[in-house]
Amino acid sequence: MMTFESLFEIICQRRDNPTDESYTAKLINWGEDKILKKVGEEAMEVILAAKAQGDQRLIEESSDLIYHLFVLLASRNLSPADLLSELDKRHQAKN
């Protein structure tokens, strides 16, 4: 079963060992503006799915958003652990 950790690991492998067949490698090579455009498109598609397209479509579009967000993080040499650290800091601040 795919986990967020394994997905991010695959993205980093494709970043570090690009091939012509890899969409991930191409996306990173196209640059941050293209990645940001995809994150924005996917975020809008999540909203539309949540409003009127049903739960399965919401799952599909949310998966696309997470994938593209992870590509953005990998392109910046950040990781989901950085996000979790920030969320932990916010949680600790509230307690």
pLDDT of 4-31, one tens digit each? 999 999 999 999 999 999 999 999 999 9
* Other CB atoms within 10 Å distance of the CB of residue 63: 14
| pLDDT in the model for residue 11 | 98
**pLDDT computed for residue 38 by the predictor:** 98
Q: How far apart are CA 57 and CA 68, in angstroms?
A: 17
Nearest-angstrom CA–CA distance, 30 and 45 = 22
User: What gap in Å lies between CA 45 and CA 41, rounded to an integer?
Assistant: 6
What CA–CA distances, in Å, run from 35 to 48, 51, 93? 20, 25, 32
Flag whether pLDDT at 48 surpasses 80: yes
Q: What is the pLDDT of residues 57-94, one digit of tens each?
A: 999 999 999 999 999 999 999 999 999 999 999 999 88
Q: What's the pLDDT at 40?
A: 98
Q: Which domains does the chain have, with CATH numbers?
A: 31-95 (1.10.287.1080)
